[in-house]
Amino acid sequence: MLHNKSFVKKTKGGKVMKQVREHYLRDDIYCGAPFCTVCDSSAARLGASPSTILIVDTNVVLNQIDLLENPAFDNVVLLSIVLEEVKNKNMSVYNRVRSICSNSTRKVFVFSNEYHRDTYVKEMSGETKNDRNDRAIRVATQWYQNHLGGDVKVLLITNDKENKRKACEEGIFAETVESYVKSLDRSDLLDLLVRPASEDVDMEEVEDLRPSKRKVIYSEHKPMSEITSGLHRGIYHQGKLRVNRHNPFEAYVGSESIGDEIIIYGRSNMNRAFDGDIVAVELLPQDQWQEASSLSIAGEEDEDVDEGVHLAPNSADHAPRTIPQQGSSEKVNAASNRPSGRIVGIIKRNWHSYCGSLDPMPMPAGSGGIAHALFVSKDRRIPKIRIQTRQLENLLDKRIIVAVDSWDRQSRYPSGHYVRTIGEIGDRDTESEVVLIENDINTRPFSSQVLACLPPLPWSVSSEDLSNPIRQDLRHLRVFSVDPPGCKDIDDALHCHTLSNGNFEVGVHIADVTNFVHPGTPLDDEASQRGTSVYLVERRIDMLPKPLTEDICSLRSDVERLAFSVIWEMTPEADIVSTRYTKSVIKSSAALSYVEAQARMDDSRLMDPITADLRNMNILAKKMRLRRIERGALTLASAEVKFQIDTETHDPLDIGMYQIREANQMVEEFMLAANVSVAEQILKTFPLCSLLRRHPTPTREMLEPFLRTATAVGLHLDVSSSKALADSLDHAVGDDPYFNKLIRILATRCMSQAVYFCSGDLSPPEYHHYGLASPLYTHFTSPIRRYADVIVHRLLAASLGISKLPSVFQDRLQLTNISDNLNYRHRNAQYAGRASVELHTLIYFRKRPTDTEARIVKIRSNGFFVFVPKYGIEGPVYLTKADKGSGEWYVDEQQQKIKKMDGSLSYSILQTVQIHMEVVEPQPNRPKLQLTLI
């Protein structure tokens, strides 16, 4: 049946145009009930004999998505009109609904009511779009009831009073969400319910729990029309709010309209905005532009800003943001060049669910009923969230997930609802899961579709592989790998032999992952989504299924494996004479650990061929490294720690600094060289769609805190170029041996991290990698654990004419999305890794109070931050109690010292102090590591 929809549409130019669209109505859309005798039931998704089939309206989907995600909520029919409305209103809810629909274990069916000839409704004159859609929902419900007959009850779930009344008039069963869930008699489901804030539902039971008279705490959000016109006239500025990870009372809005960051101090200026929201900001008058409040460790208002002990940052992305302060006391107006503002409206919310726990509270007297509790997120950027629960005693010592629903002007905190429990607080598995959830890391087992893409096991190199003309047989070469001990996902191996002309042939062989992961397959989609493997202290979350990661792709010793090889001819001076790239078959003759490789090189008695190769390579690597440093590459340092884990209990047994040996540096050098060579090759062939990696030059502002520290200890650093900085870092030697490393660690944490990008999005000068002082760089050498390398393998193969370029590369936008996702996943994997180390540090020190040496890295008005080199952690040491006045001590900004008023005691930056580390529990179930001065 054909039907023409005509409607009037306003074009961008403001003209009004009549648009006519065809709309075909069909008779082949089925109801999705397997017991239906009329319809084709091959695609049926509903239960075999349900007593009730639920049809939900748009607002129920939008507000109660957590409820829908609960498997107890089954036999649901989603109408296409509902999905369309959800899509227009909230894309993230839409994606969640869609994933419920595609989950084969759920009995949820999508009925395309808009295209069914019996359920399509035409807009009546004088009817609003909403009314028409509500009517469409009712018509579809009625159709279902008539279609399925009286054995099944078709229930419309709506919280819209008017809709419900009309439905009842038309003889349709209809209920509100609340009454339906209550009829199920499940208290955990009741907690999932979002409390309605609208007038649509009878508020009696909710109303009386709220104080009748409450004062207004926050200023009003401006209506959207006012915001739009304000943005237009330039009085408001639009941008994404980013809350300081280390101080939730400070946030930034990057605004394009003023070309600078607007700082927002305090909860009232933030006006109920969350991290990640798109907001409209109004600038404050210039005389209210505040000095940075980061001078004190304590926070504002009644919430204590818990500046706890954390892992020492290793790049600017992990470090607390500090605002450059010009001398504080004497110059009052000094900081007034940094614009501050307040939020007047929220353009787009970034609400989702958060991990955390409830604020400890006594059980309310009338227990068993509804309790009000405050939820504290693990993510400190998120304010406390008010929730209602019927299972308070169960939840108090648990890690739970909570979603935000609303935040009105009268409440200090937003209100939300409980979603689910993860486990007990402090339990290692629970806390690890929290880390994973917080960082959006997918730990689900690989689906059967993904596993179906794997080659049959046991796999071995076949004769077709060997006879394939694109693949070179390099099994005769003496190839070996050097990795951390116990490494199972070996993605790189090396070889080196002397040529007759005195030159060396050096090969880097990388696991040929793209031979198994083909573009467009479920396996490829999954890997692309995961982006990277994640390494926690006690477990690894793989990007690719285990058979690929640990066996088929892993370049283990004494087995034939497929590889993608970069082979150079190098002079003894480590100059590259020629480079070639080929797919290959190799047979590794040894899988060495760094320690073993180092021991072999050091043992002068050993003269076997592999040791000789290692020594040759080490000589070459040293020359390459020297040349790189001469070009200005920075030798950066970070304090990485290593745990020894008990194999049975998985508890940390020992903790220590990760030692970097010459062997590590040797392997790293060749990997760098391979990455650079590959970057050159792919960019030459595909100048617009190559995936590269760049490291932005740090701005002066980023280096400012570091430079101030350096000046205070009498160092003069030249940061005009990476070369200059590298040289001045080399000359930074203090009285003690650790001083240089400390300075390097401090320098490293000022820089941002390298990022992936698509070459078409930037101009060649921006491709520069600052840290490596290389004009081009990419990732090629770890395709088992990084998806970026998989992409680069495909690019390289296409540039050699081995295979054709997959279609994604023709779509720049898609490629940009992929690189954005990779950056996001990469960053999250790092956050997760660090959080896992922090967790294990806490577990380790729980039973082992320790005294150790620490270095002061930051001075505050009531104490200082210390860095503990041995354990790689950083945390505050208080000289006074946070609540007492800090009159006893004063800070000398110039010299970065904190002095006692009477002059008897002073601490200066980078000074060594002895501290005591101990785990304390200021509140039950909330252990934290405390540092005190001895």
Partner 1 sequence: MEFVSPEGLRLDGRRPMEMRQIRAEIGAVSKADGSAIFEMGNTKVIAAVYGPREVQNRSQQISSHALVRCEYSMANFSTGDRMRKPKGDRRSTEISLVIRQTMEACILTHLLPRSQIDIYVQVLQADGGTRSACINAATLALADAGIPMRDFVTSCSAGYLNSTPLLDLNYVEDSAGGPDVTLGILPKLDKVTLFQMDSKLPIDILENVMQLAIEGCKAIASYIREILLENTNQLEYRRGV
Positions touching partner 1 (CB under 8 A) are 2, 4, 15, 17-26, 80, 87, 98, 101-102, 110, 112, 114-115, 804, 806-807, 810
> Shortest CA distance to 830 belongs to which of 310, 309, 317, 382?
317
**Closer residue to partner 1, CB minimum distance, 18 or 213:** 18
**Closer residue to partner 1, CB minimum distance, 119 or 584:** 119
Closest approach of partner 1 to the CB of residue 238, in Å: 24
**Closer residue to Zn ion, CB minimum distance, 31 or 376:** 31
Closest approach of Zn ion to the CB of residue 33, in Å: 6
Q: From CA 625, how far away is CA 673, in angstroms rounded?
A: 10
Give start and end residues of each alpha helix (H) in 686-811.
Answer: 700-712, 722-730, 739-748, 787-799
* Residue 337 partner contact from partner 1, Zn ion, none using kind-dependent CB cut-offs of 5 to 8 Å: none
**Closer residue to partner 1, CB minimum distance, 32 or 632:** 32
Question: Over the range 876-908, which residues count as b (16 or more CB within 10 Å of their CB) and which as e?
Answer: bbbbeebeeebeebebebebbbbbeeeeeeebb
Closest approach of partner 1 to the CB of residue 80, in Å: 7
Question: Over the range 399-434, which residues count as b (16 or more CB within 10 Å of their CB) and which as e?
Answer: bbbbbbbbbeeebbbbbbbbbeebbebbebebbbbb
> Shortest CA distance to 86 belongs to which of 137, 125, 121?
137
**Closer residue to partner 1, CB minimum distance, 23 or 916:** 23
- Is 36 a binding residue for Zn ion by CB under 5 A? The answer is yes
Closest approach of Zn ion to the CB of residue 127, in Å: 29
Closest approach of partner 1 to the CB of residue 15, in Å: 7
**Closer residue to Zn ion, CB minimum distance, 38 or 688:** 38
* Residue 31 partner contact from Zn ion, partner 1, none using kind-dependent CB cut-offs of 5 to 8 Å: Zn ion
* Residue 540 partner contact from partner 1, Zn ion, none using kind-dependent CB cut-offs of 5 to 8 Å: none
**Closer residue to Zn ion, CB minimum distance, 28 or 883:** 28
Checking phi first, is residue 185 left (phi over 0); if not, alpha (psi -120 to 50) or beta? left
CA angle 220/216/292 to nearest 5° reads 70
Q: 651 near 643, Cβ under 8 Å? A: no
Closest approach of partner 1 to the CB of residue 915, in Å: 58
Closest approach of partner 1 to the CB of residue 97, in Å: 11
Closest approach of Zn ion to the CB of residue 147, in Å: 5
486's tokens: 């116990």
Q: From CA 807, how far away is CA 798, in angstroms rounded?
A: 12
DSSP code at position 275: T
* Residue 763 partner contact from Zn ion, partner 1, none using kind-dependent CB cut-offs of 5 to 8 Å: none
* Residue 36 partner contact from partner 1, Zn ion, none using kind-dependent CB cut-offs of 5 to 8 Å: Zn ion
Question: Over the range 683-707, which residues count as b (16 or more CB within 10 Å of their CB) and which as e?
Answer: beebeebbbbbbbbbbeeebbbbbb
Q: From CA 339, how far away is CA 260, in angstroms rounded?
A: 8
Sequence-distant (6+) residues with CB within 8 A of 405 are 63, 194, 195, 197, 414, 415, 416, 417
**Closer residue to Zn ion, CB minimum distance, 37 or 649:** 37
Closest approach of partner 1 to the CB of residue 83, in Å: 8
- Is 46 a binding residue for Zn ion by CB under 5 A? The answer is no
- Is 39 a binding residue for Zn ion by CB under 5 A? The answer is yes
Give start and end residues of each alpha helix (H) in 307-454.
Answer: 392-395, 428-438, 448-451
* Residue 8 partner contact from partner 1, Zn ion, none using kind-dependent CB cut-offs of 5 to 8 Å: none
Omega before 458 cis (within 30°)? yes
**Closer residue to Zn ion, CB minimum distance, 33 or 298:** 33
Query: How many other C-beta atoms can be found within 10 angstroms of the C-beta atom of residue 733?
Result: 11
* Residue 810 partner contact from Zn ion, partner 1, none using kind-dependent CB cut-offs of 5 to 8 Å: partner 1
Which three-class secondary structure string do you get for 579-615?
Answer: EEEEEEEEEEEEEEEHHHHHHHHHCCCCCCHHHHHHH
| Region from 32-40, 526-534, 539-547, 690-698 binding Zn ion, contact rule CB under 5 A | 32-40
| Region from 38-46, 361-369, 785-793, 802-810 binding Zn ion, contact rule CB under 5 A | 38-46
* Residue 882 partner contact from partner 1, Zn ion, none using kind-dependent CB cut-offs of 5 to 8 Å: none
**Closer residue to Zn ion, CB minimum distance, 38 or 466:** 38
**Closer residue to Zn ion, CB minimum distance, 36 or 258:** 36
615's tokens: 């020594």
**Closer residue to partner 1, CB minimum distance, 22 or 302:** 22
Closest approach of partner 1 to the CB of residue 109, in Å: 10
Closest approach of partner 1 to the CB of residue 23, in Å: 6
> Shortest CA distance to 362 belongs to which of 332, 393, 322, 340?
393
Closest approach of Zn ion to the CB of residue 837, in Å: 56
* Residue 102 partner contact from Zn ion, partner 1, none using kind-dependent CB cut-offs of 5 to 8 Å: partner 1
Q: From CA 167, how far away is CA 158, in angstroms rounded?
A: 10
* Residue 900 partner contact from Zn ion, partner 1, none using kind-dependent CB cut-offs of 5 to 8 Å: none
* Residue 114 partner contact from Zn ion, partner 1, none using kind-dependent CB cut-offs of 5 to 8 Å: partner 1
**Closer residue to partner 1, CB minimum distance, 139 or 835:** 139
Closest approach of partner 1 to the CB of residue 112, in Å: 5
Q: Site map for Zn ion, 140-179, x if CB under 5 A? A: ----------------------------------------
Q: 230 near 222, Cβ under 8 Å? A: yes
Rounded to 5 degrees, φ, ψ at 399 are -85, 130
Closest approach of partner 1 to the CB of residue 21, in Å: 6
* Residue 916 partner contact from Zn ion, partner 1, none using kind-dependent CB cut-offs of 5 to 8 Å: none
862's tokens: 């009531």
> Shortest CA distance to 456 belongs to which of 513, 398, 516, 403?
516
Closest approach of Zn ion to the CB of residue 30, in Å: 6
Q: 697 near 770, Cβ under 8 Å? A: yes
742's tokens: 């400390």
* Residue 4 partner contact from Zn ion, partner 1, none using kind-dependent CB cut-offs of 5 to 8 Å: partner 1
Give the binding-site size for Zn ion (rule: CB under 5 A).
4
* Residue 39 partner contact from partner 1, Zn ion, none using kind-dependent CB cut-offs of 5 to 8 Å: Zn ion
Sequence-distant (6+) residues with CB within 8 A of 120 are 3, 23, 25, 113, 114, 136
SS3 566: strand
**Closer residue to partner 1, CB minimum distance, 87 or 846:** 87
**Residue 251 β-bridge partners:** 243, 264
**Closer residue to partner 1, CB minimum distance, 112 or 187:** 112
Closest approach of partner 1 to the CB of residue 110, in Å: 5
250's tokens: 């400070």
Question: Over the range 201-210, which residues count as b (16 or more CB within 10 Å of their CB) and which as e?
Answer: beeeeeeeee
Closest approach of Zn ion to the CB of residue 8, in Å: 36
Residue/partner pairs of 131-137 with CB below 8 Å, 24 or more apart: 133/58, 133/81, 133/85, 134/57, 134/160, 134/162, 134/163, 134/166, 135/166, 136/79, 136/81, 137/55, 137/57, 137/79, 137/81, 137/82, 137/113, 137/163
| Region from 34-42, 354-362, 522-530, 645-653 binding Zn ion, contact rule CB under 5 A | 34-42
**Closer residue to partner 1, CB minimum distance, 20 or 48:** 20
For residue 904, the number of C-alpha atoms closer than 13 Å in the C-beta half-sphere is 2
**Closer residue to partner 1, CB minimum distance, 731 or 804:** 804
Q: Site map for Zn ion, 68-107, x if CB under 5 A? A: ----------------------------------------
List residues binding Zn ion (CB under 5 A).
31, 36, 38-39
